[in-house]
């Protein structure tokens, strides 16, 4: 079994903690859950530490796997949603996709500059709107020159993020990515489906409208194909 396809997820929820190992976005290799009394994060540290102590050791022994990073899923009062919009005129758009990428990057930087105490967790396009129609996914073709994007940024307070990082650093574990529990939950068709399983699929690009910034320069391809590649 390829260790590189194993992702470790830790869930911090107001009612429980959970630890999962997901293989290739399809299979649950390990699953443990601890219900707690609903105290806030700081007042539950003793229970949380014991849960981590027990399970990190079990994982490393059972799978001969050194746990050095995790994906952290949180349901937390310090998460906020910030909604913004972008209007793009495609009539004069250059064939170089960097201008769209630049617009989205500028939105991200502007929002975080105005909300400097927050860190970006997710950036998602909720709607694509033209003069005639609204779309929840990017359509195959658009006959208007203007496209209006409704964009949501989900952000977490930096102080909260620091607390999480400090806690896991005691185990020499880094946080690879933070995910919003509520955002993941919105993709469940059945509440019995494992939350970490959905999270793994989202990380692998299940939501084509989630924006992930990449450093490498996009290839010179058709605009809408670029759009899809950029979001995935």
Report the CATH architecture of 79-155+209-231: 2-Layer Sandwich (3.30)
On the question of pLDDT at 32 being above 80, the answer is yes
Number of Cβ within 10 Å of residue 139's Cβ equals 12
Q: How confident is the model at residue 95 (pLDDT cuts 50, 70, 90)?
A: very low
Q: What percent of the chain has pLDDT over 90?
A: 48
Per-residue pLDDT of 6-16, as tens digits, reads: 999 999 998 89
Which residues of the chain does CATH 3.30.420.40 include? 3-76+158-203
Greatest C-alpha distance within the chain: 59
Residues 153-165, mean pLDDT to the nearest whole number: 93
Which residues of the chain does CATH 3.30.1490 include? 79-155+209-231
Of 58, 18, 50, the closest CA to residue 197 belongs to: 18
On the question of pLDDT at 174 being above 50, the answer is yes
- The model's pTM is 0.83
Q: State the pairing for strand pair 118-129/134-135.
A: antiparallel
Per-residue pLDDT of 96-127, as tens digits, reads: 445 667 788 889 999 999 999 999 999 999 98
> What fold does the segment set 3-76+158-203 form as a domain?
Nucleotidyltransferase; domain 5 (3.30.420)
């Amino acid at each position: 079994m390829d260790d590189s396809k194993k992702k470790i997820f830790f869930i911090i929820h107001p009612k429980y903690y959970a630890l999962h190992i997901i293989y290739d976005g399809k299979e649950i290799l390990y699953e443990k859950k601890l219900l707690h009394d609903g105290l806030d994060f700081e007042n539950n540290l003793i229970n949380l530490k014991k849960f981590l102590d027990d399970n990190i050791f079990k994982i490393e022994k059972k799978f001969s796997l050194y746990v050095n990073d995790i994906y952290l899923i949180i349901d937390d009062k310090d998460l906020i949603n910030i909604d913004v919009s972008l209007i793009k005129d495609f009539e004069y758009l250059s064939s170089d996709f960097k201008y769209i990428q630049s617009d989205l990057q500028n939105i991200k930087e502007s929002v975080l500059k105005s909300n400097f105490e927050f860190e970006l967790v997710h950036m998602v396009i909720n709607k694509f709107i033209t003069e005639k129609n609204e779309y929840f996914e990017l359509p195959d073709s658009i006959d208007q020159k203007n496209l209006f994007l409704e964009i949501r940024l989900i952000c977490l307070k930096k102080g909260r993020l620091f607390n999480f990082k400090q806690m896991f650093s005691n185990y020499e574990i880094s946080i690879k990515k933070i995910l919003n529990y509520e955002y993941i939950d919105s993709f469940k068709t059945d509440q019995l489906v494992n939350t970490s399983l959905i999270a793994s699929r989202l990380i692998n690009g299940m939501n084509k409208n989630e924006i992930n910034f990449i450093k490498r320069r996009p290839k010179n391809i058709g605009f809408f194909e670029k759009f899809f590649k950029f979001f995935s």
